[in-house]
């Protein structure tokens, strides 16, 4: 029989009582004991005779759970059994709390690293989402290479952080809508030195110590012609070599820049092959292609096609004057945002207020413009909004709505 989860409130039943009182409960004859629930015995055919239930206490008093021992092999549960199980319970409780603390610390580090990545991604409208996408490739590339979890994590974090040094590059150069002069290009190359300085200032835990070195070597090439150092093949960290491949692939295939169109995947792979053995480690390029790492799913959320009404409020002084209230129809929606069309241009990165009308009600959100692209030459624009402030109620409504689409 499959083991099911049984839930009971604190105070109810034997385990619930122990949780409430934090005291040992010995029941040497369950028959007639008022807190004993015999329905499970009836369902399963098992026969409970006696129960020893103890609280699991971390650091002497903090309740983590309850352990029950059922049916002592010979005789009845005594005080010695009670204190033995109690000791075991507190050891387990302390271990569980320690693991929780480690997991919390990991989550904290990950959230800080991700927000660094988001910070730099928000900076540039041309390369928006670059760090996040490179990081998505990194995870796939890492598993395609058979790396262990620790190295996959290092590569993932290094990917999120690799361009963080662009924070030190002037907008006039970083966002220049045209080709860079060679002087400007030299200047942009400094971003890796900034990346190194910024990351060196972080006291990474031992298992993540290599991140600054890897992140700041993503423009090194195996023929020694990369920058900032011009490291030779054997001097470049393997994870940095992987990073350099996905960085280039992502940049080439990312959406159109003012000065060039986005490349098709096959053309970008051709670029990797042309530079296989000169810029890039040949074996790594082979794995990237053979294991189809380039087909990594880059979307954060699955989208569903829908037709819903929306209203938005723009309050900007750029392209749209004054306080505009607009209406439109959503084409697709995900937990992360919406796509719709409009005959006005929405400025990139602009925050707007939006209301989406779903059958069950309204979803109100603050959203950021992450896409504004003319549809053909129709003077209509496809607008992508990413939800940035979704109140928990709206979030729950949206989740429930999206569940209808079995995604
Ligand atoms: Fe870079
Ligand atoms: Fe990059």
Question: 356-382: b or e for each residue (b if 16 or more CB lie within 10 Å)?
Answer: bebeeeebbbebbbbbbeeeeeeeebe
Q: What is the CATH number of the domain that holds 308?
A: 2.40.10.220
User: Could you tell me if residue 117 is inside a domain?
Assistant: no
Span 201-215, pLDDT tens digits = 999 999 999 999 999
Per residue in 127-151, pLDDT tens? Answer: 778 999 999 999 999 999 999 999 9
Measured CA to CA, the distance from residue 99 to residue 92 in angstroms comes to: 11
Q: Residue 280 half-sphere exposure, CB side, CA atoms within 13 Å?
A: 24
**158 Cβ contact partners less than 8 Å away, ≥ 6 residues apart:** 138, 210, 211, 214, 215, 218, 239, 240, 243
Give distance in angstroms: CA of 273 to centre of ligand 1: 20
CATH code, 62? 3.30.450.40
Residues 372, 308 within the same domain: yes
Cα distance between residue 29 and residue 49, in whole Å? 6
Q: Note whether 355 and 311 are within 8 A (CB).
A: yes
In this prediction, residues 181-186 reach a mean pLDDT of 92
CA 146–ligand 1 middle distance (angstroms): 25
Report the pLDDT value the prediction gives residue 3, as an integer from 0 to 100: 67
Q: Is residue 370 scored above 90 in pLDDT?
A: no
Residue 72 lies in a domain: yes
pLDDT confidence band for 163 (50 / 70 / 90): very high
Question: 295, 323, 352 — which closes off a domain?
Answer: 295
Are 61 and 164 part of one and the same domain?
A: no
Predicted confidence band at 396 (pLDDT cuts at 50, 70, 90)?
Answer: confident
Q: Is 25 helix (H, G, I), strand (E, B) or coil?
A: strand
Strand order of the sheet with strand 51-58?
25-27, 51-58, 62-70
- CA 400 / ligand 2 centre spacing (Å): 37
Q: 9-13, 235-239, 268-272: which range is least confident on average? A: 9-13
My answer on whether 291 and 151 are in the same domain is yes
- Ligand 1 center–CA 137 separation, angstroms: 15
Which ligand is closest to the CA of 217, given by its number? 1
Residues 279 and 168 in one domain: yes
Last residue of a domain, one of 48, 83, 99: 99
Is 163 in contact with 118 (CB distance < 8 Å)? no
Ligand showing the shortest atom-to-Cα distance for residue 137: 2
Flag whether pLDDT at 242 surpasses 60. Answer: yes
Say whether both 129 and 85 belong to one domain: no
From 49-63, 233-247, 293-307, the region with the lowest mean pLDDT: 293-307
Q: Are residues 282 and 321 in the same domain?
A: no
Q: Are residues 384 and 354 in the same domain?
A: yes
For 335-350, the pLDDT digits (tens) are 889 999 888 888 888 8
CA of 68 to the centre of ligand 2 (A): 55
The pLDDT of residue 306 is 87
CA 124–ligand 2 middle distance (angstroms): 12
Three-class SS state of 171:
helix
What band does 38 get if pLDDT is binned at 50, 70 and 90? Answer: confident
pLDDT per residue as tens digits for the range 216-238: 999 999 999 999 999 999 999 99
CA of 221 to the centre of ligand 1 (A): 13
Residue 33 lies in a domain: yes
Same domain, 170 and 269: yes
How far apart are the CA of 263 and the centre of ligand 1, in A? 18
Domain-embedded: residue 331: yes
pLDDT at residue number 322: 47
- pLDDT band at 255, cuts 50/70/90? confident
Q: Give yes or no: residues 313 and 279 share one domain.
A: no
Q: How far is the CA of 219 from the centre of ligand 1 (A)?
A: 6
Nearest listed ligand to the Cα of residue 124 = 2
**Ligand 2 mean position, distance from CA 159 (Å):** 8
Are the C-beta atoms of 302 and 266 separated by less than 8 Å? no
- Report the pLDDT averaged over residues 356-382: 86
Is 131 part of any domain? yes
Rounded to the nearest whole angstrom, what is the distance from the C-alpha of residue 367 to the centroid of ligand 2? 25
CATH number for the domain that contains residue 256: 1.10.3210.10
Quick: pLDDT tens for 291-331. 999 999 887 777 888 888 998 887 655 444 445 677 888 88
Residue 336: per-residue pLDDT: 87
Which ligand sits nearest to residue 248's alpha carbon? 2
* Bridge-based pairing state of the strands 351-358 and 25-27: unpaired
**9-23, 33-47, 293-307: which is most confident:** 9-23
**Domain annotation covers residue 51:** yes
> What integer is the mean pLDDT of 178-183?
88
What spacing in Å lies between the alpha carbon of 168 and ligand 1's midpoint?
12
Structurally, how many domains does the chain consist of?
A: 3
* 65 lies in the same domain as 144: no
Residues with CB under 5 A from ligand 2 (ion): 163, 247
- Say how far apart CA 18 and CA 124 lie, in whole Å: 57
Average pLDDT, the chain: 89
Query: In the prediction, which pLDDT does 258 show?
Result: 64
Same-domain pairing of 35 and 175: no
Residue 138: closest CA among 11, 242, 25, 254 = 242
Ligand nearest to the CA of 247: 2
In this structure, which ligand is nearest to the CA of 135? 2
The H or E element containing residue 200 is helix 191-200
CA of 102 to the centre of ligand 2 (A): 31
Q: How far is the CA of 265 from the centre of ligand 2 (A)?
A: 17
Q: Report the pLDDT averaged over residues 344-363.
A: 86
SS3 106: helix
Which of 244, 272, 295 is at the close of a domain?
A: 295
- Of 100, 106, 109, which Cα lies nearest the Cα of 203? 109
Q: What distance in angstroms lies between residue 308's CA and the mean position of ligand 2's atoms? A: 36
Asked if residue 110 belongs to a domain, the reply is: no
Q: Which residues pair with 356 in a beta bridge?
A: 310, 363
Whether residue 380 sits in one domain with residue 289: no
The rounded Å distance from CA 163 to ligand 1 centre is 5
Ligand closest to CA 131: 2
| b/e burial code for range 19-56 (CB count within 10 A of at least 16 → b) | beeeebbbbeebeeeebebeeeeeeeeeebebbbbbbb
Which domain covers residue 82, as residue numbers? 13-99
pLDDT-derived band at 256 (thresholds 50, 70, 90) equals low
Overall average pLDDT of the 269-282 stretch: 97
In a domain, 109, yes or no: no
Q: Where does residue 238 rank: exposed (0-12), middle (13-18), buried (19+ CB within 10 A)?
A: middle
| Cα(211) to centroid(ligand 1), Å | 15
């Amino acid at each position: 029989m499959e083991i099911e989860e049984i839930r009971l409130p604190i105070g109810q039943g034997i385990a619930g009582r122990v949780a409430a009182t934090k005291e040992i409960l010995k029941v040497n004859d369950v028959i007639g004991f008022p807190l004993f629930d015999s329905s499970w015995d009836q369902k399963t055919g098992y026969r409970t005779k006696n129960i020893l239930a103890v609280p699991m206490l971390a650091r002497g008093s903090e309740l983590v759970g309850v352990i029950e021992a059922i049916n002592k092999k010979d005789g009845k549960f005594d005080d010695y059994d009670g204190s033995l199980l109690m000791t075991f319970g507190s050891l387990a409780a302390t271990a569980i709390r320690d693991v929780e603390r480690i997991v919390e610390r990991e989550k904290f580090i990950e959230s800080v690293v991700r927000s660094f990545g988001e910070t730099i991604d928000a900076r540039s409208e041309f390369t928006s989402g670059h760090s996040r996408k490179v990081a998505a490739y990194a995870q796939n590339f890492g598993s395609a290479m058979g790396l262990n979890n620790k190295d996959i994590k290092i590569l993932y974090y290094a990917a999120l952080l690799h361009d963080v040094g662009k924070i030190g590059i002037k907008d006039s150069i970083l966002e220049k809508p045209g080709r860079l002069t060679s002087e400007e290009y030299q200047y942009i190359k400094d971003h890796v030195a900034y990346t190194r300085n910024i990351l060196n200032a972080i006291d990474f835990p031992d298992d993540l110590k290599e991140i600054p070195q890897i992140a700041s070597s993503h423009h090194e090439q195996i023929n020694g012609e990369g920058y900032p150092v011009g490291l030779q093949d054997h001097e470049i960290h393997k994870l940095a070599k992987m990073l350099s491949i996905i960085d280039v692939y992502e940049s080439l295939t990312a959406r159109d820049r003012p000065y060039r169109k986005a490349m098709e995947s096959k053309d970008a792979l051709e670029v990797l092959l042309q530079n296989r053995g000169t810029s890039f480690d040949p074996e790594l390029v082979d794995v990237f292609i053979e294991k189809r790492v380039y087909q990594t799913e880059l979307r954060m959320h699955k989208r569903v096609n829908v037709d819903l009404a929306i209203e938005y409020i723009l309050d900007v002084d750029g392209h749209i004057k004054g306080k505009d209230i607009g209406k439109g129809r959503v084409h697709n929606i995900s937990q992360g945002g919406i796509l719709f069309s409009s005959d006005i241009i929405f400025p990139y990165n602009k925050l707007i207020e939006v209301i989406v009308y779903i059958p069950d009600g309204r979803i109100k959100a603050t959203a950021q413009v992450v896409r504004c692209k003319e549809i053909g030459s129709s003077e209509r624009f496809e607008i992508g909004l990413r939800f940035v402030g979704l109140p928990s109620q709206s979030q729950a409504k949206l989740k429930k709505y999206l569940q209808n689409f079995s995604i």
